Structure 1
């Protein structure tokens, strides 16, 4: 009986491994290897079930094998390792497979050799060169000077109101010279603080002048950040209009890893204790930088492998000089000065090319990705289902932009009809025996006043002008009978409320903030298209817009959102979206005649409204 139990256990484990490998193949196009390779897949444990990078690296280190890269995928129950040599890979496999217990739930790890790492993420942030303009000066101060600086920025005279002292959610902050106002991400040059930058910092400027680093006039603003282990700062760029170039950051008390990002490029930078980081030019203006909230950093070793290092309390001193006037930098991607002039020009160009843009970057795209898109849209949103269940039996429902028809069978007591512009998605709905027809949401071939209820879920944000979005709402109103109700969902620009991320953002732990203006949009788009090897038809976009980085917060309202297929070609298509600001949808509804807004709410990254048709 004991032998039989072992055999059954082995068969169960083998079956689970095959199932996990099939999932990885479908998700990442990564294949198993029957012979040892440098690459290993941990099949059954990942971020989604409690494993973190530090625990995985510690388990691998216990085998004696050297790991050069760890890949943890957002919302996945698997992950990957790259080893330094083939012998290291074999040591890790033999020491961990069906032996190591890792993750919060203590799962026994199942490993497999694979032929390659996922193509989309195989770049190693430690193997990239530093962004242009970034200079790291190790051992810039000694221990005695470090202690004097910490004392100078920590001690303020009794009863003095000379500094701005703030407790933020993720760190303790103190300002000298001028207060940085986090509500506006700027400073008020007319409101200096009583206490300037302490004179104990003066020796830094003379020392910096002797280094090969960009020159900076004497700073007049200092922000002191105190980080406890586990605290960090979100990805950001120091406001262009607030400060001149460069920015100086002195790390005291502890090492830390800082992440720099620009679009899909990323670089990890280890900031040693007592080092000075100088950000100028491209690195200051065109890259975001941030620190992940972690207790342990994963860092490279001199041999090229990875190891872990615990954080201790860290204090950073960020020195800046105020800008007296608008920014005139040559890096407008994240420039707040340039953004104030861009929206009007973008809006006008979108209105001119709206029909062409929607045809190419909405209708044609959804025809091509219909089956793959449908596979990702299978569960009705609870509040949409609640709306559908609020109608009397035998009411007539029209789903405008029904996609694969998932809502048409939500309430079987309704006479539910769907329409969509995409032939591909209508084909999916037909295969499910749904009642559907093809039309454009701007001109519904439906008799006025004939429908009890309408829904339009994730449709109107694909329309490329305010007038066309208003027309779509008016069409919904027109077909409703008096007393009929409509529910509309659109993507929100703000993908978090009350510090809660939407489902869209939760699929990526790193939030990459990108802001694009008209001039930079053209440059950014060209770079993105080159990197993503887009289908040739996608190269001729009607309007140059920023290509949004998936699973990150939106920084612009009008963007292209990539969709990458899961086939062998891994083709990327660009879908046009207009993401809505707070109250923007309500303002549109207020312009529609003969309806009254009954409810507006925010639901998982969407702005939503319910309106009712008034009696004639």
Structure 2
């Protein structure tokens, strides 16, 4: 049976799974995202501390590199943005997600970029990018990629802990969260100092219509994930990525970077 976007297949590869492929005998043994995840700490945006669970005996600690902008868009803007996305094709992606890409084709292992049909960011994002760059932390932010993702509890949508590439993508990762609240789980595999051993997880609450920016340690040291338990209803997000220094003025790939920036800033893009 097709879902409301008309997509019936799953896009999982390798060890990635969703509820669609886990129903088959072929992948039943790969259930890697079904168990509830325990959070050691929760991020407090007021104090910018990771606060331990009550009764854990742990101490809070500074958690730099997370910026939250509540109500970045209004309810009417949210409705318009999602309606525009739904006019375009959502393609099946891994881990039960659906995807729309506005960016170049990249082979990260071989470090190759193909412009292909890349035509820039979509027109609806012009005002969003202009608004976010009014924030001092995001001054000069010039994204060359926008990735729209659709999460659904019926598909078991999730994304495993990972670090975004830092060869092509720059210091700041920016995500606009739409339609429902969720939790971004930040994790370190081995902990740090003498107080924390083994994996450490920090839950960052991400309200509906909130903008999240990650930079510094949260961008380069802490992995981020969204688990099934934190997708309660349809969630749509747009993630924007800027170029690394290698692709900017004075970098070895300045020419390619300049071409990507020129295409992105046309705001005439269609999803690939």
TM-score range for the pair, normalised by the shorter chain length: 0.5 to 0.7
Of stretches 205-214 and 226-235 in structure 1, the one that deviates more from structure 2 is 205-214
Higher radius of gyration, 1 or 2: 1
Which residue of structure 1 lines up, in the alignment, with residue 87 of structure 2? 155
Shift of 1:144: 1.4
Shift of 1:275: 0.4
Counterparts of 1:146 and 1:247, CA distance in 2: 20
Which residue of structure 1 lines up, in the alignment, with residue 143 of structure 2? 219
Which residue of structure 2 lines up, in the alignment, with residue 103 of structure 1? none
Residue correspondence of structure 1 range 399-418 to structure 2 within 5 A: none
Shift of 1:212: 4.1
Counterparts of 1:220 and 1:270, CA distance in 2: 27
Deviations 1:57-105 (A, max 9, x none): xxxxxxxxxxxx988xxxxxxxxxx997xxxxxxxxxxxxxxxxxxxxx
User: TM-score, length-normalised on structure 1?
Assistant: 0.28
Q: What are structure 2's unaligned runs of at least 5 residues? A: 1-34, 41-51, 192-199, 249-272
Counterparts of 1:200 and 1:213, CA distance in 2: 22
Pick closer, same or farther for the CA change 1:212–1:237 going to 2, 3 Å: same
Counterparts of 1:257 and 1:70, CA distance in 2: 11
Pick closer, same or farther for the CA change 1:70–1:280 going to 2, 3 Å: closer
Match of 2:204 among 262, 269, 272: 269
Counterparts of 2:145 and 2:172, CA distance in 1: 13
Pick closer, same or farther for the CA change 1:268–1:153 going to 2, 3 Å: same
What SS class does the counterpart of residue 273 from structure 1 fall into? coil
Shift of 1:147: 1.8
Paired residues, what number? 193
Which residue of structure 1 lines up, in the alignment, with residue 221 of structure 2? 286
Pick closer, same or farther for the CA change 1:154–1:218 going to 2, 3 Å: farther
Which residue of structure 2 lines up, in the alignment, with residue 204 of structure 1? 128
Q: Which has the higher contact order (CA 8 A, sep 6+)?
A: 2
Shift of 1:187: 7.4
Normalized per residue, which structure has more helix? Answer: 1
Counterparts of 1:273 and 1:186, CA distance in 2: 37
Counterparts of 2:214 and 2:236, CA distance in 1: 18
Shift of 1:150: 1.6
Q: In 1, are the aligned partners of 2:39 and 2:203 still within 8 Å (CA)?
A: no
Shift of 1:216: 4.1
Q: In 1, are the aligned partners of 2:66 and 2:213 still within 8 Å (CA)?
A: yes
Q: What are structure 1's unaligned runs of at least 5 residues? A: 1-51, 55-68, 72-81, 85-115, 157-162, 298-309, 328-616
Deviations 1:202-248 (A, max 9, x none): 11222223224233432111111111024210001110102012110
Counterparts of 2:116 and 2:53, CA distance in 1: 53
Which residue of structure 2 lines up, in the alignment, with residue 241 of structure 1? 167
Shift of 1:254: 0.8
Counterparts of 1:221 and 1:137, CA distance in 2: 20
User: TM-score, length-normalised on structure 2?
Assistant: 0.60
